[in-house]
Structure 1
Amino acid sequence: MFDFRQYKRGYFMPPTQCNDWVTKEYVDKAPIWCSVDLRDGNQALIEPMSLDEKLEFYKMLLDVGFKEIEIGFPAASETEYEFCRTLIEKDLIPDDVTIQVLTQARPHIIKKTFEAVKGAKKAIIHVYNSTSLAQREQVFKKSKEEIKQIAIDGAKLLKELALEDGGNYQFEYSPESFTGTEPEYALEVCNAVIDQWEPTSDNKCIINLPVTVEMSLPHVYASQVEYMCKNLHNRDNVIVSLHPHNDRGTGVADSELGLLAGADRIEGTLFGNGERTGNVDIITLAMNMYSHGVDPKLDLSDMPRLSKTFEKLTQMTIDDRHPYCGKLVFAAFSGSHQDAISKGMHYRIDNNPELWTVPYLPINPEDVGRTYDSDVIRINSQSGKGGVAYVLERNYGMIIPKAMREDLGYAVKDVSDVAHKELSADEVLEIFEKRYKKYTPHFKISEVHFKQTNGIDAEVTIEIDGKTELIKANGNGRLDAVSNALASKFNMACNITVYEEHALRRGSSASAIAYVGIEDDNNKGFFGIGIDHDIIRASIDALESAMNRELD
């Protein structure tokens, strides 16, 4: 049954108008980042990571630059507990990194959690209980006062055990299912917890506002966050944290608008792994800031390595279109897109602008460890002449004349269309050379001699069907003289309309490439290329191939 009438909004707007966030243009500084890959992300895997796998993932998070890492729910399983103890006992936690552990607001679980973190230089103890209307009515069958008391009792016990232990602990509280909780009631519960903890400027507490399930448009969440930020007790000593999930596909938007609304911290996962549709994707969030010229305070410069390690350890697959890190996110198959990117890249070479403004590329792919050669201009049957020319220039240093690009583009598109596949750069080069280089099905030029008289006299020896023949003509220059000889021999126009040349490699032994285009009497164009150390020989070879094309 597909019946929309069984649903209605399950969220609550704040009792007062809260939309100051609307006036802010963009997130202008990085939040405090907390990776929850090793807890929230790990518990969402079909096969949770082993101890060794969690250690490898943890080290990757350190390399990225996370200073707060939720390492698990140590009272939930022996593996979680052992992982926590391993990090502490083997001194694997850098001085500037804080581990975080999760616990329900239940006394025996809280006590087990403190046992797990004993000896840590510092740790965040994250306690939670659900406060939503649906959970109060359906799961716990408790009143608002009873649910609030669970939070208060949990907060009290954290403070008592921390004093007994003498450790360096910071406290965090989450009203789980915040998005399904009346904002004024969530505020009441959170303030009761803050009053118990009495945070100071030297030891702030964290109030985390989880989007346990997305229920609303992002602007509603932003209004809820702003309401909490404006009305929390002791706000200067409270870090407001967000923990968005992605049920409506707007976890990133929730986070960005929540930061505009006054939040200080984000809990999320690399690549958005998490329960159901996932947690908020920290990579997308951080790279969105980066693309606005804001330092995200995370090192995401080797995205291929992060992707490979993530997929290996989680057995999850990153979608090819995943923002910033998918295999195809910088790829352009469309001809118009390829042409714009190609021209944008040439503009950068010619003008050396300070800012990155290349069309269709929001960031420079090289910033995240990608390459132009294999990641940007991709060739298939949808590609255009500009893209094909860009591939040959980028990979092989061949600057294709504009007049030649359309003919080449159609040739490449035809091959891709018939084969129903993308073509590699080497395959594009193969098509290019097969069509234009040493194309001699009708005749070959084996020898050419020049003499300067009234202009240039050319004696051209050609081979046709295994026989040699000498043809002669005069012209304004060497190539003109050879083209006149060929036109006379085959009784066909050989009007040179395109001639370009350039070196392929620098130095005294550099090869040169020549491009020649000719037209017949109907103004139809034919093209050829020649590559040789001698530019005259290269030019003659190019003309030879173009004339053979005309004879087809």
Structure 2
Amino acid sequence: MPMLLDPATKYLPYPAVPFSPDYARRWPTQRTTSSPIWLSTDLRDGNQALVNPMSNATKLELFRELIKIGFKEIEVAYPSASEQEFQFVRSIIENGEVPDNVSLQVISPARPDLIARSIESLAGSRHAIIHLYNAVSPVFREVVFRNTKEQTIDLTLNAVLLVKKLTEEETARSGTRFTLNYCLETFSQTEPEFAVELGNRVLEEWGKASPTDKMIFNLAATVECAPSNHYADMVEYFSTHIKQRDSVIISVHPHNDRGTAVAAAELGLLAGGDRIEGCLLGNGERTGNVDLITLALNMYSQGISPGLDFSHLSDTVALVCRCNDMQIPVRYPYAGQLVFSAFAGTHQDAIKKGLDMQAKRWSEIDRTGQGIKYWAMPYIPLDPKDLGYGYENLIRVSSQSGKAGTAYVIKQNMQLDIPRRMQVSFYKVVQDESERTGKEMTVASITSAFKQTYFLDSKPLGRLFLHSYRLFPLSPSTREPSSPMSDYSDDEPQSLIRFEGEMTVDGEKRTIRGDGHGPVLAALDALRADLALELNIGESAGQTINADSPAYAKAVTFLEMYLPGTSPSKSGAGSVWGVGISYDVTASKCRAVISATNKLLGDRSLPRARKIFSPRPTASNVDSDSWLQGIKLRAGRIPSRSDQDVHEGDTTNWATTA
């Protein structure tokens, strides 16, 4: 049967709430400023909706988790439904599982035999809540029970009187203190005037409600059959017309048939609600109850403490899913695996900039002791770390991502702050690989691609590999080298030096030599002289990683290079970069030169070595990171952008990034 062209011939719109013509609704101007009373009904409403209900052992495990989270009111069972349910209530009371500040609630229909069994189950508990319910809407009165309004009122009041009598007797026997929670089942489909009339009659019959011993009215949206604003209207109407308002707790119980249970609950609180009933992750009949996790964290993200602790949310979610034999979508609010993940390039760029800016702002607050470390992040309304997550999942890289996402992964896992134009260049590598495989690029695969692209390994990855090097000062007049330099510093870029590098070239070891003002130009001259490679330098940048631990600090050099007759692209797309990392600044620059040269080399043939390299048994011929061992060095630094690393026409700037 197809959908109707005119559904008005079959479905009626929701009726208006009968406010007086001059009445001004209060809830639209209200603002939530404190948390409500929370009632978890996971062990009842949630359990009754399961294909295979929980065993008592499983219920106990979930009950303990609810206690750990911080719930003070928990609906634990329908004791009159089965012996198993009854015994669960008895077991947690008799085994001391219920803290003194936690109230147990059980549910009972308005039937004398079932009411008695429910009250019996609670004997000996410190504080118990009897959830008494009956459906009162027209469709139930007329179709299911075939009762008039008067008969519905009589049935309800008789049940209330019995609850009053039996709870007073049980209090005398065991000392258990009881609270009545009367639920107007199907409230959302009940005439507001009748709901108020029935509520006032129940309040009068109970006769014990006071500001210090309040009675609860459960306004159940058993079926969510209207917009959330309509539910708010109904709650406000009831709240403003019920007698003894200061002696009443209004409990909202939304279901999710229209997909707006969270909105209905939030508006219901603005309309006068004091208490929320629901389940973790919204488990429940049909489309479920309202999700208490989403509600609580919505408040938390606005600076309101919900009084519930979800510091280890992933563990809580895993437990709830296991106990209920359920799964949640990866995009489920707060609890889903991908809710804090961005794949789109524009989103990733904004998040990366937000994290960088926030880190600087928070650092300044730490330094000055002034200001508040408030969370202000594009696309991420709540700090994942507050829920026990890290930032490693914030940015996920696919073929639809951008340079910022890839750069973020490298920074998080290798501490490398890639220059912006280099980000464009490297992302093309990542994008090509993602398109080739048709899959997301993981942190491991991106890191591996970075190391392979820029030949970052202790063993040869490319055709060229620099084992070690030595620098010799040259006489300006004779250009003859003297003893190896033991104190070369980038503070003296004008000095003419000779670079002697011990390398593997296409699997064979050889020594290359070249002269220049500074190690980079000298290394380039060596590549030209020995390998016939003419190379030019483009953009460059430097960085220190582990700067806070001098013993482990390393210098990083990012170097763009290009062939004569070409020029670097303005955007960075297609540019060739090299990366060098070392405990020594000069070594990092030399390694960056070789890294970029490997990329530019391609499959071109290289001239044969002028002579075979043989290691010299000298103390100065050691690995490039340790060749200065035993020699007292002058303290050097990574130069700033204002320093010049070259001389006579070379315009390379070496930036320093903390």
Candidates 405, 408, 418, aligned match of 2:426: 408
Cα gap change, 1:372 to 1:495, in 2 (>3 Å): same
Aligned to 1:429: 447
2:88 is aligned with 1:83 = yes
Give, in whole Å, the separation in 2 of the partners of 1:191 and 1:471. Answer: 98
Query: Are positions 1:289 and 2:331 aligned together?
Result: no
Residue from 180, 187, 195 that aligns with 1:178: 187
1:446/1:89 CA distance change after superposition, 3 Å:
closer
2:587 aligned residue (519, 537, 548):
537
8 Å Cα contact 2:540-2:557 kept in structure 1: no
- Cα deviation code 1:215-252 (max 9, x no counterpart): 11111111110010000011110000000000000000
How do 1:67-146 residues align onto structure 2 when only pairs under 5 Å count? 67-146=72-151
What count of residue pairs does the alignment treat as equivalent?
550
Give 3-state SS (helix, strand or coil) of 2:453's partner.
Answer: helix
Secondary structure at the counterpart of residue 127 of structure 1: strand
| 1:523 equivalent among 567, 570, 580 | 567
CA contact (8 A) 1:403 1:498 kept: no
Q: Which secondary structure state, in structure 2, belongs to the residue aligned with residue 372 of structure 1?
A: coil
* Structure 1 residues 258-337: aligned runs within 5 Å: 258-337=268-347
**Post-superposition shift, 1:467?**
5.4
1:163–1:504 distance in 2 versus 1, CA, 3 Å: closer
Distance change in 2, residues 1:187/1:518 (3 Å): same
> Residue 208 of structure 1 is aligned with which of 218, 237, 248?
218
Task: Please say if residues 174 and 207 of structure 1, whose CA atoms lie closer than 8 Å, have aligned partners that are also in contact.
Answer: yes
Kindly tell me: are residues 467 and 102 of structure 1, through their superposed partners in 2, closer, same or farther at Cα, counting changes over 3 Å?
closer
Question: Which residue of 524, 533, 536 corresponds with 1:494?
Answer: 536
CA–CA separation in structure 1 for the residues paired with 2:118 and 2:591? 79
For residues 517 and 83 of structure 1, what CA distance do their matches in structure 2 show? 70
What is the one-letter code of the residue matched to 2:403?
A: K
Residue 418 (structure 1) aligned with residue 436 (structure 2): yes
Cα shift readout 1:174-218 (whole Å, capped 9, x = no counterpart) = 111001111011111111101111211221100110010001111
**Contact 2:56–2:88 (CA<8 Å) still a contact in 1?**
yes
Aligned AA (2:473): Q
Displacement, 1:334? 1.2
- Do the aligned partners of residues 543 and 182 (structure 1) sit closer, same or farther apart at CA in structure 2, a change above 3 Å counting? same
The 1-side partners of 2:64 and 2:210 are apart by 32
Distance 1:237 1:447, change over 3 A: closer
Alpha-carbon distance in 1 for matches of 2:88, 2:273: 30
* Residue of structure 1 in register with 2:71 after alignment: 66
What is the alpha-carbon distance in structure 2 between the residues aligned to residue 297 and residue 318 of structure 1?
A: 24
Q: Deviation of residue 85 (structure 1)?
A: 0.8
Deviation, structure 1 residue 271:
0.8
2:204 is aligned to 195
Partner residue of 2:654?
none
**Which residue of structure 2 aligns with residue 362 of structure 1?**
381
Percent same amino acid at aligned positions? 39
Show structure 2 runs of 5+ residues with no match.
363-371, 477-495, 569-574, 603-658
Partner of 1:20: 26
8 Å CA contact retained: 1:456, 1:474: yes
* 1:450 has 2:471 as partner: yes
Task: Measure, in 2, the Cα distance between the counterparts of 1:165 and 1:76.
Answer: 21
More helix by share: 1
Contact 2:294/2:334, CA 8 A, preserved across alignment: yes
Bigger RCO (CA 8 Å, 6+ sep): 1
Evaluate the alpha carbon distance shift between residue 447 and residue 254 of structure 1 in structure 2; reply closer, same or farther with a 3 A threshold. Answer: closer
Q: Is the 8 A contact 2:455 2:462 kept in 1?
A: no
Q: Which moved more, 1:356-365 or 1:346-355?
A: 346-355
Distance, in Å, in 2 between the alignment partners of 1:206 and 1:491 is 85
Cα distance between partner residues in 2 of 1:402 and 1:448: 30
**TM-score, normalised via structure 2 length:** 0.80
User: Is 1:235 the counterpart of 2:245 in the alignment?
Assistant: yes
1:37-80 deviation line (CA, Å, top 9, x unaligned) = 00000101111110111111000000000000000111011111
- Contact 1:246 1:278 (8 Å CA) reproduced: yes
Matched to 1:99, the amino acid is: L
For residues 429 and 228 of structure 2, the distance between their equivalents in structure 1, rounded to whole angstroms, comes to 48
SS in 1 for 2:551: coil
Matches of 1:68 and 1:40, distance apart in 2: 14
Question: Residues 461 and 468 of structure 1 are in contact (CA less than 8 Å); yes or no, is this contact kept in structure 2?
Answer: yes
What residue identity is the alignment partner of 2:205? Q
Distance 2:500 2:197 in 1: 99
Deviations 1:459-506 (A, max 9, x none): 456554455666544322111221233356435332242132323573
Separation (CA, whole Å) in 1 of partners of 2:24 and 2:116: 39
For residues 477 and 38 of structure 1, do their structure 2 counterparts lie closer, same or farther at Cα, with a shift above 3 Å needed? same
- Spell out, residue by residue over 1:365-412, the C-alpha distance to the aligned partner (whole angstroms, 9 max, x if none): 000001112x21212222211111111211222222222111111111
RMSD: 1.9
The whole-number CA distance in structure 1 between the counterparts of 2:83 and 2:15 is 37
Are the aligned partners of 2:38 and 2:277 in contact in 1 as well (CA < 8 Å)?
Answer: yes
- For the 8 Å contact 2:542–2:555, the answer to whether it is kept is no
* Distance of 1:60 and 1:461 partners within structure 2: 63
State how far apart, in whole Å, the 2-side matches of 1:300 and 1:550 are.
Answer: 52
Cα distance in 1 for residues equivalent to 2:83 and 2:465? 79
Amino acid aligned to 2:389: R
Aligned residue type for 1:514:
T
Q: Which moved more, 1:87-96 or 1:491-500?
A: 491-500
Q: Partner amino acid for 1:483?
A: L
Q: Using a 3 Å threshold, how does the CA distance of structure 1 residues 440 and 120 change in structure 2: closer, same or farther?
A: closer
1:495 counterpart SS class:
strand
Is the Cα–Cα contact under 8 Å of residues 11 and 180 in structure 1 kept in the other structure? no
Distance in 1 between residues matched to 2:465 and 2:36, nearest whole Å = 69
Quote the residue 1:7 is aligned against.
11
Contact 2:468–2:502 under 8 Å retained in 1: yes
The change in CA–CA distance for 1:437 and 1:466 in structure 2 (over 3 A counts) is closer
Give the letter aligned to residue 161 of structure 1.
L
Name the CA shift for 1:484/1:238 in 2 (closer, same or farther; >3 Å).
Answer: same
1:438-477 pair list within 5 angstroms: 438=456, 441-445=462-466, 448-453=469-474, 454=476, 455-460=496-501, 463-466=504-507, 471-477=512-518
Secondary structure at the counterpart of residue 92 of structure 1: coil
Question: What's the TM-score, normalizing by structure 1?
Answer: 0.95
Distance, in Å, in 1 between the alignment partners of 2:294 and 2:592 is 49
Q: What's the offset of the Cα at 1:416?
A: 1.7
Checking the alignment, whether the CA contact within 8 Å between 2:561 and 2:577 is kept in structure 1 is yes
2:216 and 2:526 mapped to 1: Cα distance?
87
Deviation at 1:347, TM superposition (A): 1.2
Q: Report what 2:367 is aligned to.
A: none
TM-aligned CA distance change 1:467 to 1:330, over 3 Å: closer
Where 1:41 maps in the other structure, the secondary structure is helix
Q: What is the SS of the residue equivalent to 1:508? A: helix
Question: Conserved in 2, the CA contact under 8 Å of 1:125 and 1:170?
Answer: yes
Task: Give the conservation status (yes or no) of the 8 Å contact 2:546–2:552.
Answer: no
Question: Which deviates more, 190-199 or 249-258?
Answer: 190-199
User: Which contiguous aligned blocks of 4+ residues in structure 1 show a shift greater than 6 angstroms?
Assistant: none
- Equivalent in 362, 373, 380 of residue 398 of structure 2: 380
